[in-house]
Structure formats: structure tokens, C-alpha cells
């Protein structure tokens, strides 16, 4: 119970701080953010967009880890854990794509411009979509678990390629890209210490939130499976 209150306070603080703290030219007080040229007020998205994108990758990673565990131990609970994580990952993937696209409209002038990061998150969306399409097409429980575990491992292996392939093919607009010199808050550390503090607090809060929802979600899936089995037995 205590940590739920702690998470609530942390998320509330991060949200208020991220939205309301003023951006000034020369930050003096601890609650002031520096003005990053080229981004200005748009820079605030880092507190909410980057954690969702991070969770997309984390959820995919956890899903692959539990897929691997399933293949090793053949325990159907592991498959449900992987499935719950993939569901959450899909949610955060959509959130990251939409928030990123809305931000891009104001920062770059168009919702979608096939920036390397945009293409990568699009590929992740496709992988998640394919995984759910595969799951829904198979009837048998164990067969579904095995095939989707195999597919998510194969998909996970191809992900690192996007990191190397994309920047060579497309020009990067995203803050932190290789060619980006003016507006790279993450890479060049143009953020001051208070901005960094809020950013990392936000990352921690979102990560706790993910593990919490994930736990509830796979527990409910397992309970649902058990009830189904009892109903079938009569």
C-alpha cells in the first residue's frame, strides 16, 4: 500500500513539474528549466514521451524473456506473463507514436516524416500487431504459446538492426540523432540538473507503473484461464 501512495505522489510531482515549471534563459532557482534553442516549450515532452517509448522497448524485452522461459519450462503461466507484457507494450507503443506525432506537428511541421525513430516505432507497432494476429489465429493453448514465443524471439532478434540501418537510410530529425547538433538534449546534455532529475524521476515512476499494471494484468489473465478450465470441467 505504501509504495502505491509513493508512486501516486511521484507521478503527480512529475506531471506538475514537467508541465508547470518555467523555462527561462538563465536558470537560477532549482525549479527552473534551461531554454534549449530550437525546442523551447516543446522540450517538455521529454518527461512523458521518452518514458512511454522506453516502456515500449522494456515491455517487448520482458515479453521475449518470458517467451524464452516458456520454451524452456513449458509453463503456461509464463506465456500469459509474456502476453500481458506484449499487451501493455502495444498500449505504450501507440501512446509513444501518437504523442510523438503530435509533437512532430509543432516541432517539425508535419505529423509523420519517416524519421529513423518514427520508422523504428512503426516497425515495433507492426511486430506487436503481427504477434496479436498470430495469437488470435491459433486455437490450441500450448500451440499458441509455443508459436507466439518463437515469433517474438525472432522479432526481438531483428530489432537491433533498426538502430544501425535507419540512420544510414533516412535523415534524422529527432532530438539526439547523429546529425543533430542544435537540439540534442539527451545526447549533449543541454538539460540542467533539475531537468535531468525530473526526467529520471519520470522514468522511474513510469517503470514502477509498468510493473504494477503488468502484475495485475497477468494475474487477471491467469485467474481467467483457471475459471475457464473449471467451467469446462463442469
Partner 1 sequence: MLTKAIALFKKDFHSELRTRYAINSLAMFIIVAISVIMFAIGQERISEGLTGGLFWVVIFFTAMSGLSRAFVSEEERGTSLTLQLVAAPSTVFTGKLIFNIILVFCMNTIIALLYAALFESFVINNFGLFLLSFVFGNIGLAISSTIIAAIIAKAGAKGTLYPVLSFPILLPLILSSVQLTLFAIDGTSIETAKFELAIVVSYDVIMLTVSYLLFDFIWKD
Query: Of 23-31, 133-141, 180-188, 219-227, which part binds partner 1 (CB under 8 A)?
Result: 133-141
DSSP sequence for 124-165: HHHHHHHHHHHHHH--SHHHHHHHHHHHHHHHHHHHHHHHHH
Among 7, 65, 101, 138, binds partner 1 (CB under 8 A): 138
Cβ–Cβ under 8 Å, residues 201 and 10: yes
State the nearest-atom distance from the C-beta of 71 to partner 1, in Å.
6
Query: Of 23-31, 103-111, 166-174, 203-211, which part binds partner 1 (CB under 8 A)?
Result: 166-174
Among 76, 162, 188, 201, binds partner 1 (CB under 8 A): 162
**Closer of 1 and 133 to partner 1 (Cβ):** 133
DSSP sequence for 184-212: -HHHH--S-HHHHHHHHHHHHHHHHHHHH
Query: Of 104-112, 141-149, 213-221, 223-231, which part binds partner 1 (CB under 8 A)?
Result: 141-149
What is the size of the binding site for partner 1 (CB under 8 A)?
29
Among 7, 23, 76, 150, binds partner 1 (CB under 8 A): 150
State the nearest-atom distance from the C-beta of 217 to partner 1, in Å.
24
Cell of 67: 517467451
Say how far apart CA 43 and CA 35 lie, in whole Å: 9
State the nearest-atom distance from the C-beta of 142 to partner 1, in Å.
9
Interactions with partner 1, residue window 169-198 (CB under 8 A): 169
Q: How many helices (H) and strands (E) does the chain have?
A: 7, 2
Contacts with 70 (C-beta within 8 Å, 6 or more apart), sequence order: 76, 78, 79, 82, 145, 146, 149
DSSP sequence for 67-110: HHHHHHH--HHHHHHHHHHHHHHHHHHHHHHHHHHHHHHHHTSS
Q: Counting contacts by CB under 8 A, is residue 168 touching partner 1?
A: yes
Cell of 141: 493453448
Interactions with partner 1, residue window 39-98 (CB under 8 A): 71
| Contact residues: partner 1, CB under 8 A | 71, 123, 126-127, 129-130, 133-134, 137-139, 143, 146-147, 149-151, 153-155, 157-158, 161-162, 164-166, 168-169
Amino acid at each position: 500500500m505504501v509504495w502505491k501512495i509513493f508512486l501516486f505522489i511521484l507521478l503527480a510531482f512529475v506531471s506538475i513539474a514537467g508541465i508547470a515549471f518555467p523555462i527561462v534563459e538563465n536558470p537560477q532557482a532549482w525549479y527552473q528549466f534551461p531554454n534549449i534553442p530550437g525546442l523551447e516549450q516543446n522540450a517538455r515532452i521529454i518527461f512523458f514521451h521518452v518514458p512511454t517509448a522506453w516502456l515500449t522497448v522494456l515491455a517487448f524485452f520482458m515479453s521475449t524473456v518470458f517467451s524464452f522461459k516458456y520454451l524452456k519450462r513449458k509453463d503456461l503461466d509464463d506465456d500469459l506473463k509474456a502476453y500481458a507484457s506484449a499487451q501493455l507494450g502495444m498500449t505504450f507503443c501507440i501512446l509513444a507514436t501518437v504523442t510523438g506525432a503530435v509533437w512532430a506537428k509543432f516541432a517539425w511541421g508535419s505529423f509523420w516524416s519517416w524519421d529513423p525513430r518514427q520508422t523504428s516505432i512503426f516497425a515495433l507497432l507492426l511486430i506487436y500487431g503481427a504477434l496479436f494476429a498470430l495469437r488470435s489465429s491459433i486455437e490450441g493453448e500450448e500451440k499458441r504459446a509455443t508459436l507466439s514465443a518463437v515469433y517474438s524471439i525472432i522479432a526481438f532478434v531483428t530489432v537491433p538492426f533498426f538502430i544501425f540501418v535507419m540512420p544510414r537510410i533516412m535523415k534524422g530529425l529527432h532530438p539526439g540523432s547523429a546529425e543533430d547538433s542544435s537540439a540534442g538534449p539527451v545526447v549533449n546534455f543541454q538539460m540542467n540538473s533539475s531537468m535531468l532529475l525530473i526526467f529520471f524521476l519520470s522514468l522511474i515512476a513510469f517503470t514502477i507503473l509498468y510493473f504494477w499494471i503488468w502484475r495485475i494484468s497477468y494475474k487477471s489473465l491467469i485467474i481467467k484461464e483457471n475459471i475457464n478450465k473449471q467451467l469446462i470441467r463442469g
